[in-house]
Structure 1
């Protein structure tokens, strides 16, 4: 678990970066499933990262320049009648003690109290999000303070997103965060290994999904980190296939992309395997090519390398392999530069991983300078090849023989950048083939 001292250290780090500014963070909005039925609440990741507070209708204000209240929370007050219907609320008094705020106010006092944390700030840090009403609230306060600046001589003259600062902070994982991620990974590894044995011809994709997610929950996870993909046969060529309703057949490949969320920290694993236990020749050839690309890409995960080296390495291996198979033709440099491989491989080779599955983190600084890998970053490495019945080659490229069609393969691992190289956190799920 993340201790209160770590949340405090994160806020202090943020304060050191915003100087005389004030940062404002809004909790997530409840999401409606249908009519008046809501999805399970999932807190905004930046808000949670700084506070650990897991309730809706809350606002955190970070004001390092304020003489007394550098960390302020606005929360829902205790209300027994409403709590009977919608669940326990921490309330004002307990929130101050439990979450280390200098001051806590009821959320309905935000309009009244907020200006005193803004009037001496030189800048407001706030990421304009999906809550349009709250966006308008912040902008209105900013406009009023700018209009009276000439009388007071103080006030925020700029509004800046918190994203740049928060993404840089969240990219580097603490020991406590890594422990949470390792637990999410451990549960996910066990689930993947279980369903590899469970999946058989005649069973439905949703049966495999149910087995996966049963293990996620019974082991203490919050559930799936994202909608589980259980894609058999031609469904494996659909990147975000989530229907999971096909009956699996002998000779199918099964692509499973699923991970557990544990304490809001996530795992993300993909494996592709023949449910009958034996690859067909074309399946094996493409699988070995994707595996070769993934191993080469993982070898690029080390401090000092840049993020794009991972993708560029995977692409080159895949293109060379596809050229050897006659699925691409021409000059390799031209194929890569003009992205003529994209009918077969249309996504990037990975993403940052953490509180979000596609976690906060900068990939490049400007158009040309890619992020340099640093110890304690966590990312996925996930090359793939997808040749659906509808795949059409780029003009001037070879036609695709039918024997390759209907094959989709992705192999994904979660990789920690270490001081000297990397650690594949998800190595406990086999990806080597025996047949």
Structure 2
């Protein structure tokens, strides 16, 4: 069975990342790093959940097969392998059932490793690889099974102590090193993320065009999933949120079977994963194709809050700045509409100080985005001194960081809220690349302004009507 002809591997990208990790480990005193991929997970009986590799492992290898593990030896002597892959052996019979496998030799050549062995040989090689090394770099806690194996390898080395062999004197968590690397995206990553954003935007446009009163949430979800796969994405980056009417006030509502009714807003938070990278888009639009005055009033507040956050997103500001900008606009809007009692709060500063807005806006304005939809990396400067209030300062944004910008308002039915706003849930979310002077939005191929959304939906209905004549 031949290697898939359409497979394209950016070998140098992954090799350079491994070299950066090796350099960081040498600067920390050397040692060996162990990076596993994700295990396969049984769904029921003999059916597995769709396999998805571990993000850290993929970041350093580009390798997507299960049963694999990477070893990086920063203390290797001259001529010894520094990057070693363990993977499944070639097996013609299993490939007949499950598809192509690289095998150790194929993987070594294709992905640029110094050496490769079968996964079955891992217990024989690992004690030798970690013996006499100053430190072991490994993320304990992710897998109880692998944690036990690692302890077994260390114990096997300790058992050779009378022969003069020493086990690693320290164990360090490798993830902070990888988190810092993954926070700043390279050109290879940004190109994939831009394309993922474009595909997801197509999906949202298709869902808007397909929406009518009477359609069910899962029907709109189907339009999204079709578009993801149609344009080459591997699937959704997370469980799609498709919420009609009051369901939009449930932040993580899964697409269900509720019917979109005339007068409802539809909130869709859904996006694809492409080549290991997530996108993340939310749009809110009317089932009828026209916003009601109250819906438009709140929508314009959320859109203004998003624009304020976008304007605040640039290199040199802290991560909290976009959130603070959005909160101020939302708090003022809640006062202006009377959703927050103007008799009780004299100013927007009072609303913010008492967090009165949090009843209607309970989440933050963004999160890191990358291989994981909520990507890795600290939000605060771990090594910085605490401020006068004892808090750790927020991280400063840098060029090529990627994050979402997603304010919202969620107004449930309540006696102290004007009835025209009841059960309106609105969120608007785009994906951004931080630049020196601002940010680049990767997901604006789908409309965000009221007039543009209505125009798209009306054009789709006119086109569908003409096709039926």
Query: TM-score normalised to the size of structure 2?
Result: 0.87
Matched, 1:282 2:306: no
Match among 352, 355, 366 for residue 339 of structure 1: 355
Conserved 8 A contact 1:257-1:270: yes
For residues 152-211 of structure 1, what are the alpha-carbon distances to aligned partners after superposition, in whole Å with 9 as ceiling and x for unaligned?
A: 485422222221111110111111111111111111112212221211111111111111
Q: Secondary structure at the match of 2:273?
A: strand
Matched, 1:265 2:282: no
Q: 2:45 maps to what in 1?
A: 35
Q: 1:15 maps to what in 2?
A: 22
For residues 326-383 of structure 1, what are the alpha-carbon distances to aligned partners after superposition, in whole Å with 9 as ceiling and x for unaligned?
A: 3334264454344332221111111111111111222112442211111111110001
Matched, 1:368 2:392: yes
Q: 1:70 maps to what in 2?
A: 82
Conserved 8 A contact 2:137-2:171: yes
Q: 1:140 to 1:333 in 2, by over 3 A?
A: farther
Q: Secondary structure at the match of 1:323?
A: helix
For 1:241 and 1:258, locate their aligned partners in 2 and report how far apart those are by CA, in whole Å: 11
1:96 Cα deviation from its structure 2 partner:
1.6
Matched, 1:46 2:59: no
Conserved 8 A contact 1:229-1:256: yes
Q: 2:10 maps to what in 1?
A: 3
Conserved 8 A contact 2:9-2:110: no
Moved more, 273-282 or 337-346: 337-346
Q: 1:134 maps to what in 2?
A: 146
For 1:78 and 1:45, locate their aligned partners in 2 and report how far apart those are by CA, in whole Å: 24
Moved more, 66-75 or 322-331: 322-331
Q: Secondary structure at the match of 2:358?
A: coil
Moved more, 99-108 or 377-386: 99-108
Matched, 1:388 2:420: no
1:2-401 alignment runs, 5 A limit? 3-19=10-26, 20-67=30-77, 68-143=80-155, 145=157, 152=164, 154-328=166-340, 329-330=344-345, 332-366=348-382, 367-389=391-413, 399-401=416-418
Conserved 8 A contact 1:303-1:421: yes
Conserved 8 A contact 2:158-2:165: no
Q: Secondary structure at the match of 2:359?
A: coil
Matched, 1:404 2:421: yes
Q: 1:324 to 1:143 in 2, by over 3 A?
A: farther
Conserved 8 A contact 1:65-1:120: no
Indicate the RMSD between aligned Cα atoms, in angstroms.
2.0
Query: TM-score normalised to the size of structure 1?
Result: 0.93
Conserved 8 A contact 2:338-2:418: no
Note the residue ranges of structure 1 that are not aligned, 5 or more in a row: 392-397
Q: 1:395 maps to what in 2?
A: none
Moved more, 287-296 or 136-145: 136-145
For 2:296 and 2:161, locate their aligned partners in 1 and report how far apart those are by CA, in whole Å: 69
Q: 2:388 maps to what in 1?
A: none
Match among 384, 408, 433 for residue 416 of structure 1: 433
Q: 1:178 to 1:133 in 2, by over 3 A?
A: same
Moved more, 137-146 or 57-66: 137-146
Q: How many residues are aligned here?
A: 428
Q: Secondary structure at the match of 2:97?
A: helix
